[in-house]
């Protein structure tokens, strides 16, 4: 019985020992397998990292300088130069006393422009309204304007011609600078500027052609795309967000599919990178309005007094009948707050130059003294011009009468 039990015990221990040995072998085998799998995974990950780094490095090497890999530069905006003429916003008559002064018998009031101590007239024709509208013609310059920018302007000396409507449409030509502008009210038209080698033809929706011969730029735009060329660089952008870039010098090419990817090639290298679709399709600039026709700029009011009303023949004493006219003039000058003006005396060509010069000076001084006696406190200067500045012919009685005059020049700006 004991022998049987001993055998059973030994048998049990042997089975247990065998089972423990088998368990250790299985555990060791599993550990080896796991280690091998871990090592293989590490090797695979390292390979992927190396591949990604190599791809990024290649893409970076093939990027446009200053831009991310696969990014296409924007087409540069086109800016047109200034035309070289602008309206003077202050070119208006600023003294609103014309009607009151003109109502005085024996007085004529005319807006004029005085430059270099000369009133623009002789061959000059000027008709002005209160807001700068009117007509002007003097030698090389002809202006017809409404005072708000519309009208016609021809300056033969400068080679400038302007024809402009109220809406800003019309044409501008500068023959000396080589500038031409034809534009509709919607901004469509053509522009050419030889100063910078620029030419632009554009529709109201921004489609057309721009060229610049100085820097070799050409830009075309249609409903679907816009293309830019400068030297060996080409950029195209399409409405669907796709586009392309190429540089024949460096060999770099980029193709954006408009769906989030871009293919970059340079020689034998090629990479595909993430790239956002291109932005809103750019357009050519629509043309601005034709420059405004300058308002007729009157910087002075000219008050003309008939010497026949003021003085007897060859005299410079104020006639009693003329005193009422000068009284009203003095009142209006005071009410208008005039601080300074000039009185000029003129004669016809009868008698000799010296006599006419003295007579014109005495008549100007006589008017000055009378106005001051009536309370005019403005600073008054006088000039006598004798027969040197006629406004009409001295061959007729009517012309000589126009030349015998006293003029008061009042600055208005």
- pLDDT tens column, 270-294: 999 999 999 999 999 999 888 887 6
| CA–CA gap between residue 360 and residue 382 (Å, rounded) | 10
What percentage of the chain exceeds 90 in pLDDT? Answer: 41
Quote the pLDDT of residue 27: 45
Quote the pLDDT of residue 275: 94
User: In the structure, what pLDDT confidence band is assigned to residue 173 with cuts at 50, 70 and 90?
Assistant: very high
User: In the structure, what pLDDT confidence band is assigned to residue 57 with cuts at 50, 70 and 90?
Assistant: very low
Sequence length of the chain is 413
Quote the pLDDT of residue 146: 83
Which of 165, 161, 169 lies closest to 187 in space, CA to CA? 169
User: In the 8-state DSSP scheme, what is residue 221?
Assistant: E
SS3 342: strand
How is residue 145 written in tokens?
């304007």
Mean pLDDT over 199-208 rounds to 96
**DSSP, residue by residue, 141-179:** EEEEE-SSS-EEEEETTTTEEEEE-TTS-EEEEETTTTE
Report how far Cα 161 is from the mean position of its chain's Cα atoms.
Answer: 19
What percentage of the chain exceeds 70 in pLDDT? Answer: 71
Q: Find all residues with CB under 8 Å of 267, minimum gap 6, and list them.
A: 251
Mean pLDDT over 126-154 rounds to 74
**What is the pairing mode between strands 340-346 and 379-384?**
parallel
Which range has the worst mean pLDDT, 87-96, 234-243, 311-320? Answer: 87-96
Q: Find all residues with CB under 8 Å of 115, minimum gap 6, and list them.
A: none
Which of the pair, 116 or 378, is modelled with greater confidence?
378
Task: Answer whether 302's CB lies under 8 Å from 112's CB.
Answer: yes
Quote the pLDDT of residue 128: 59
Task: Answer whether 64's CB lies under 8 Å from 252's CB.
Answer: yes
SS3 71: coil
Encode pLDDT of 4-46 as tens digits: 332 333 223 233 333 434 444 444 444 444 444 444 444 444 4
Longest CA span, the chain: 181
The pTM assigned to this predicted structure is 0.54
Sheet of 379-384: strands edge to edge?
Answer: 107-112, 300-306, 405-411, 340-346, 379-384
Which of the pair, 104 or 232, is modelled with greater confidence?
232
Encode pLDDT of 84-136 as tens digits: 554 343 333 333 455 555 566 667 776 666 665 555 544 445 565 656 677 77
Report how far Cα 275 is from the mean position of its chain's Cα atoms.
Answer: 36
Side-chain half-sphere CA neighbours of 106 within 13 A? 19
pLDDT over 50 (residue 398): yes
Query: If you search the block for the tokens 């016809």, which residue do you land on?
Result: 348
Q: Find all residues with CB under 8 Å of 127, minimum gap 6, and list them.
A: 134, 135, 136
Quote the pLDDT of residue 329: 87
Mean pLDDT over 341-361 rounds to 93
Side-chain half-sphere CA neighbours of 177 within 13 A? 19
| CA–CA gap between residue 194 and residue 181 (Å, rounded) | 12
| Mean pLDDT value across the chain | 78
| CA–CA gap between residue 384 and residue 388 (Å, rounded) | 10
| CA–CA gap between residue 219 and residue 392 (Å, rounded) | 60
Quote the pLDDT of residue 9: 31
Quote the pLDDT of residue 361: 96
Q: Find all residues with CB under 8 Å of 359, minimum gap 6, and list them.
A: 314, 316, 345, 347, 351, 384, 386
């Amino acid at each position: 019985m004991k022998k049987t039990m001993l055998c059973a015990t030994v048998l049990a221990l042997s089975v247990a020992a065998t089972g423990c040995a088998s368990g250790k072998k299985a555990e060791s085998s599993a550990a080896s397998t796991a280690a091998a799998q871990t090592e293989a995974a590490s090797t695979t990950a390292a390979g992927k990292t190396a591949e990604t780094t190599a791809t990024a490095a290649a893409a970076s090497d093939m990027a446009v300088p200053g831009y991310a890999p696969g990014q296409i530069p924007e087409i540069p905006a086109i800016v047109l130069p200034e035309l070289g003429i602008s309206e003077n916003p202050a070119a208006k008559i600023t003294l609103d006393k014309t009607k009151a002064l003109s109502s005085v018998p024996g007085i004529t009031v005319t807006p004029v422009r005085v430059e270099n101590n000369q009133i623009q007239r002789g061959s000059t024709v000027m008709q002005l309204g209160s807001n700068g509208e009117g007509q002007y013609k003097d030698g090389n310059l002809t202006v017809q304007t409404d005072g708000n920018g519309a009208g016609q302007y021809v300056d033969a000396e400068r080679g400038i011609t302007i024809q402009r409507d109220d809406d800003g449409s019309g044409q501008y030509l500068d023959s000396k600078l080589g500038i031409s502008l034809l534009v509709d009210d919607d901004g469509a038209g053509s522009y050419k500027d030889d100063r910078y080698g620029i030419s632009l033809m554009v529709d109201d929706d921004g489609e057309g052609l721009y060229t610049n011969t100085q820097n070799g730029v050409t830009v075309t735009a249609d409903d679907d795309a816009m293309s830019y060329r400068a030297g060996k660089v080409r950029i195209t952008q399409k409405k669907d967000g796709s586009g392309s870039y190429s540089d024949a010098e460096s060999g770099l090419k980029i193709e954006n599919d408009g769906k989030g990817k871009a293919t970059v090639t340079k020689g034998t290298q090629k990479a595909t990178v993430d790239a956002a679709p291109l932005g809103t399709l750019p357009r050519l600039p629509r043309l601005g309005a034709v420059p405004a026709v300058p308002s007729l700029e009157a910087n002075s009011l000219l008050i003309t007094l008939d010497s026949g009303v003021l003085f007897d023949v060859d005299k410079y004493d104020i006639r009693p009948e003329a005193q009422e006219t000068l009284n009203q003039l003095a009142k209006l000058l005071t009410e208008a707050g005039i601080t300074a003006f000039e009185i000029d005396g003129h004669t016809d060509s009868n008698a000799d130059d010296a006599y006419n010069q003295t007579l014109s000076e005495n008549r100007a001084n006589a008017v000055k003294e009378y106005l001051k006696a009536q309370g005019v406190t403005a600073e008054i200067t006088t000039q006598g011009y004798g027969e040197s500045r006629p406004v009409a012919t001295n061959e007729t009685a009517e012309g000589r009468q126009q030349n015998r005059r006293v003029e008061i020049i009042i600055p208005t700006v």
